Amino acid sequence: MSSTICNELIELMTEKVLNDIIAAVKTTKYFAISVDSTPDISHTDQLTFIVRFVDSSGKPVERFIKFIPFSGHDGETMMNVVLDTLLEHDLFIMDCRGQSYDNASNMSGKYNGLQAHIKQIPPLAEYVPCSAHSLNLVVSCAAECCVAAVSFFLLLQALFNFFSASTHRWSILKSTIHGDVIKSLLTTRWSAQHDATHALKDSFAEIRSALIQIAEDEDQTATTRSEAASLASKLEDFELTLLCVLWDCILEQLNAMNKTLQKTEIEMATYVNLYAGLVEFVISLCNDEAFEMFEEKAKLLVKDYSYRADHQRSRKRKRNFEEPDNEIVLLPRQKCKTATYFVILDSLITELVKRKKIYQNPNDKFGFLFKITTMPDAELREAALKLQQYLSADVQDTFVEEIVNFSGYMNQIKAPPEKCASSAALKPLRNAGISETFPNVDIVYHLYLTLPATNCEGERSFSVLKRVKDQLRSTMSQEKLCNQALLTIESDLTRNIDFQSIIDDFANMKSIKKFI
C-alpha cells in the first residue's frame, strides 16, 4: 500500500473518530475545556486542546481534539486560538461551563490570563487550576524553604550524576545495593523525587559503601576519588539522614495523592477532602514526638548520631559594652528542629491550605448535593436557591422544589449518603429513566461533573506527541501529526470504528465509475 493511500485511509478514520467526539459533545450540550502547550522536536509550540463532558450514562469523559501550532503566549492570543478551534468544530462557547489549566500567569492570571478572557464571554465558565500541578508547586515551595532542604535535593542529584557518569561506577553501585538504584530528579514530576528519596533511604548504607569503595580505589582518578569521598562524608551527616527519612515519609503520601488527582472521574469534593486530609497529616507531624520518631528511624541508617554543629566551635558575636549578654544559643538538635524540621512542615501546611481554598470555592456551590438526605428542609432550600440563582441561565426556578422532592426519593429508596454524590446519583437517575421527573436536578449534577480539576489529559497527550513526532519524523506535516495523535490517544474509539464503512467510503472516493 502506498503512503498516499495510507494517509487517505488515516484521514477517513480520523474524521470518523473526531465526528463521534463532536457529536457526543453536542448531545450532552455542556462541556469544559483544558489546554496546555509544549515545544515539539522541531521547536514548534504545540497547544493541546481537550474537551470534558458527561456522556449519556452520567460518566465524565475527556477527549483530545487536536494539536494547534501557535507562537503567542499571552492570554488574549490563546483565547483567540481557543475560540477559533471551537468555531471550527461547530461548538458553542456559551455552552462552556468549566476550564482548567496549569498555574502559569498567562493561563491563570486574574486579569489578563486565558481563564479571565474566556470567563468574560460565558461567565459560568468556572476556572479550576490543575490540582496535580498545584500539588507539585506545594512540594516545590517546601523543598526551597530552607538551606538544608535545598542541600538535600542537590545531594540526591549529585549522587545520580556521579554514578551515572561512568559505567564502571554504575556497575559497582548495582553490585553493592539490593534494592532500587538511585534515580534522577525531575522538576516537572515530584513522583520522581519520591522514587529518588525512597531509593536512597532503602539503600543508604550500601550507597555509602559503594562511594567508600570508589574513594579507596587507587585505579580511579584523583578527581573521582575526591568526589566519592566528599559524597560519602555527606551521607554520614545525621541531619541529612534525618531529612532523608522525613522527605521519604512526606513524598510517599504526596505521590499517592498525586496519582489519585490525575484520574478523570475524580470529583471536586474528593479533591478538597484529599487536600484537607493531607493538611491534617502534616499537622500531626508538628510535635516533638514525631520529630523523635524520625530521629529513631534516622539512627538506623548511620553510626554517628550527633548533629553537624556538635563538632563545630560556636562563634561568638562581638558586642558593645552597653549591650546586654542575653543571646539565646540553641543546641544543635533544637536548631535542626526549629530551623529545618518545623520550617519544612510550616511551608507545606501554608501552601496546602492556600491551594485548598482555590478548590473550596466552586465546591461550596455544589457541596450540599452530597448531604441532601441529611439536611433539614430549610437549609436544603436555602442552599438550592443560592445555586439556582448562580445557574439561572441553565436551571429553572423549580429546582428548589425538585431537589426537595429528589431528597425524599433518595430517602424512600434508602440510599446511603455516599449515593447522593454527583456521579453516584446521576447514573441511577438516568439508568432508572427518571431524569424527566427531575430535569433540573439532572442538569445540576451534570454541570458539577463537567467541572474539570486537572489537565493531566493534556500532559498525557504530550507523551504521544513525543512518540509520533520524533527525531526521525521531525518534518511531518501538522495535519498528519494531528491525525496520528488523535487515533493513538483515542484508541478506544479507534477500535470501535466501523471499518467496513471506511472501506466503502474510500472505494467510492476512488471509484472512476459515474452513477447517474
In what order do the strands lie in the sheet containing 96-100?
A: 60-69, 45-54, 31-39, 96-100, 126-127
Q: Of 6, 269, 303, 233, which Cα lies nearest the Cα of 128?
A: 269
154-162 CB contacts, 8 Å cutoff, 24+ apart: 155/231, 155/234, 155/240, 156/182, 156/185, 156/193, 156/196, 156/197, 156/200, 157/184, 157/185, 158/231, 159/200, 159/207, 159/231, 160/184, 160/185, 160/196, 162/227, 162/228, 162/231
Nearest residue to 426 via CA among 1, 60, 51 = 60
| Residue from 447, 97, 392 nearest 267 by CA | 447
Q: Are 423 and 58 in contact (CB under 8 A)?
A: yes
Strands 96-100, 31-39: parallel, antiparallel or unpaired by DSSP?
Answer: parallel
DSSP states of 176-231: H-SSPPP----SS-HHHHHHHHHHHHHTHHHHHHHHHHHHT-TTS-HHHHHHHHHH
CA distance 274 to 420: 19
Residue tagged 440563582 (cell numbers): 389
Q: What is the pLDDT along the chain (516 residues), one digit of tens a residue?
A: 567 777 778 888 888 999 999 999 999 899 999 999 889 999 899 999 999 998 887 888 999 999 999 877 888 889 999 999 999 999 999 999 999 988 888 888 888 899 999 999 988 898 988 888 888 888 888 888 889 999 999 999 999 999 999 999 999 999 988 877 888 887 666 667 888 888 899 888 899 999 999 999 888 899 999 999 999 988 888 888 999 999 999 999 888 888 888 887 777 777 888 888 999 999 999 999 999 999 999 888 887 667 665 445 555 556 665 555 555 556 778 888 888 899 999 999 999 988 888 887 777 888 788 788 788 888 889 988 998 999 888 899 889 898 888 888 877 777 665 555 666 667 767 777 777 888 888 888 888 888 888 888 888 899 999 999 988 888 888 999 999 999 999 998 888 888 787 777 777 776 655 444
Taken in order 204, 205, 207, 208, is the CA torsion positive or negative? positive
Cα dist from 316 to 153, 311, 325, 444, whole Å: 31, 16, 11, 67
- Model pLDDT, residue 34: 92
- Mark residue 39 as left, alpha or beta (left: phi above 0; alpha: psi -120 to 50; beta: remaining): beta
CA 432 to chain centre: 35
Say how far apart CA 395 and CA 365 lie, in whole Å: 14
pLDDT value of position 310: 47
Distance CA 44, CA 215 (A): 46
Q: Residue 392: helix, strand or coil by DSSP?
A: coil
pLDDT score recorded for residue 247? 92
